[in-house]
Amino acid sequence: MSLFKQGRYSGYLRPISYLIDLGIINVLATMYFFKEVNPVVFVGVISLAWVLLSVSSKFYEVYRYTREVSILALILRQMVLFALIIFAFYGYYNELGIIPSTVIKYVLVSFLLISLFKFTIYYLLQKYRADFGGNFRSTVIVGKNKNTQALKAFFQNNPEYGYAYKGTFNVDKNSDETLNECFEYISIKNIDEIYCSISELNSSQINQVVDFADNNLKILKFIPDNKEIYSKKLKYEYYDYLPILSLRNIALQDSINQVVKRFFDIFFSSLVIIFILSWLTPLVALLIKIESRGPVFFKQSRNGFNYKEFDCYKFRSMTPNKDAHLYQATRDDQRVTKIGKFIRKTSIDELPQFFNVLFGDMSVVGPRPHMVSHTTMYAKRIDKFMVRHFVKPGITGLAQVSGYRGEVESDKDIIGRVKYDIFYIENWSLLLDLKIILQTFLNVVKGEDKAY
């Protein structure tokens, strides 16, 4: 048995984090503000504001399965809100004459130290779990199928998350014998968490598992039906006292998120148009014209937000042909010109789409739009394909940086693309957009096999 404590989490970790963070913001305040303000008033007001803000923003709700990008999002949101509180505090005491740069410097230094502490604890706990076997939760899985096998592999291959997998129980829907054996094993071995596959149990058995977990203080989590390969992020609401589940929670349906994304799109596309396209367009146009006759720009109808058609612009990379609106470019496609190969390989051909972004037909990041003929075909053949049109299409997207760029060679390619697009739609954040943009740039620099 491990010499280190087994358990769900340390009960002292969150209070200690509160104390350290409060210490950071108050100690640093002595360097910046205490000559101009009563320290007792500052410590009292700001400490209370920090605690209330942290509770409302869930700043300390970081779990073993929380991703780094989610922690960074929490930190950035907390930093912005805390900065507003500090400005409000000094706006109330306006006679102090504190200059804004002092407040900004104080907030940045504070959050640099808080971030350093937060990520240090995060990685130290991972190291502690992986190397010493401490701070772990013992788990069992009820039901055996492809999804539960994948979960088993996750537990076994990622010890840093601190899940000690103990076994899988293959339950017969027509008999409760195996389920009762499972309950007995959980009780004897003092299992912490039960992961139950909904598709492998009947309604009566699911109720038994729920009752057992409740009566024995076990954490119970459900694995979605194995038939559903697409991610879902259900939204739980109350209509009066009636609970309602929304099938899909789309972040960009929120008006604030729409404003943030649109502002970013205008800002980013304007920078590209002013500082890149302004001088690159004449150069590319000259090279295109020298090699072949035809227009500099290629215009193609594609389906965008709410399935509405729009004209998508690119630098022309092929000799003019009647099949351009019907067939994608394939490897060693004879229609692609010499300059076309270069601009397609470097994604320069896509740059005019920043005008589409500026005009509001597209976004910098989002599901890639397909030509109308392909959209009609895939909508009939591929389940959930139309979900991609809940948001604006993008110049780049999560699917593209995840290996699903370019030619669709089989249904597997388009199914994978749809899967990543739905994940993006349900989990959008500005940080995710920035991550995808950075990865797109790195992929262009490294070169991609399907960039042809």
For 78, half-sphere exposure in the C-beta direction (CA atoms, 13 angstrom radius) is 27
In a domain, 175, yes or no: yes
Residue 365's closest CA among 376, 354, 379, 352?
354
Whole-number pLDDT of residue 255: 76
> 7-21, 195-209, 224-238, 303-317 — which is least confidently predicted?
224-238
Residue 134 has pLDDT above 90, yes or no: no
Range 356-370 average pLDDT: 95
Q: How confident is the model at residue 8 (pLDDT cuts 50, 70, 90)?
A: very low
Domain range spanning residue 47?
13-132
Kind and range of the H or E run holding 435 = helix 430-446
Of 101, 117, 132, which closes a domain? 132
Range 216-226 average pLDDT: 77
Q: How many domains does the chain have?
A: 3
In a domain, 283, yes or no: yes
> 9-13, 61-65, 142-146, 277-281 — which is least confidently predicted?
9-13
Q: How confident is the model at residue 150 (pLDDT cuts 50, 70, 90)?
A: confident
- The model's pLDDT over 78-90, given as tens digits with 9 standing for 90+, comes to 998 898 888 887 7
CB 8 within 8 A of CB 137: yes
- Residue recorded with tokens 């390619």: 413
- Residue recorded with tokens 């739980």: 236
Same domain (yes/no): 163, 272? no
Q: Which two tokens stand for residue 118?
A: 């937060």
Q: Which two tokens stand for residue 448?
A: 């991609």
Same domain (yes/no): 298, 439? yes
Specify which residues 164 forms β-bridges with: 138
Q: Left if phi > 0, otherwise alpha if psi is -120 to 50, otherwise beta: which for 28?
A: alpha
Name the more confident of 387 and 236. Answer: 387
Measured distance CA(229)–CA(401) in Å, rounded: 20
Q: What is the DSSP letter of 251?
A: G
Whole-number pLDDT of residue 122: 85
b/e 191-203 (16+ beta carbons within 10 angstroms → b)? bbbbbbbeebbee
**Which residues have a Cβ under 8 Å from the Cβ of 321 and sit 6 or more positions away?**
335
In a domain, 247, yes or no: no
b/e 261-287 (16+ beta carbons within 10 angstroms → b)? beebbeebbeebbeeebeeebeebeeb
Q: Which of 190-194, 225-229, 278-282, 292-296 tops mean pLDDT?
A: 278-282
Q: Rounded to a whole number, what is the largest CA-CA distance in the chain?
A: 79
Same domain (yes/no): 332, 426? yes
Same domain (yes/no): 210, 257? no
Q: How confident is the model at residue 249 (pLDDT cuts 50, 70, 90)?
A: confident
Measured distance CA(312)–CA(206) in Å, rounded: 50
- The model's pLDDT over 328-337, given as tens digits with 9 standing for 90+, comes to 777 777 888 8
Residue 244 has pLDDT above 70, yes or no: no
Same domain (yes/no): 207, 308? no
Which ranges constitute the DSSP H helices of 133-233?
A: 146-157, 177-189, 203-215
Same domain (yes/no): 109, 158? no
> 100-109, 163-172, 343-352 — which is least confidently predicted?
100-109
Tell me, what CATH number does 174's domain have? 3.40.50.2300
Q: How confident is the model at residue 2 (pLDDT cuts 50, 70, 90)?
A: very low
Same domain (yes/no): 170, 311? no
Same domain (yes/no): 348, 436? yes
Residue 382 has pLDDT above 80, yes or no: yes
In a domain, 236, yes or no: no
| Mean pLDDT over each residue of the chain, to the nearest integer | 83
In a domain, 195, yes or no: yes
CB 245 within 8 A of CB 235: yes
In a domain, 437, yes or no: yes
Q: How confident is the model at residue 275 (pLDDT cuts 50, 70, 90)?
A: very high
Of 108, 132, 156, which closes a domain? 132
Q: How confident is the model at residue 37 (pLDDT cuts 50, 70, 90)?
A: low
Measured distance CA(246)–CA(426) in Å, rounded: 12
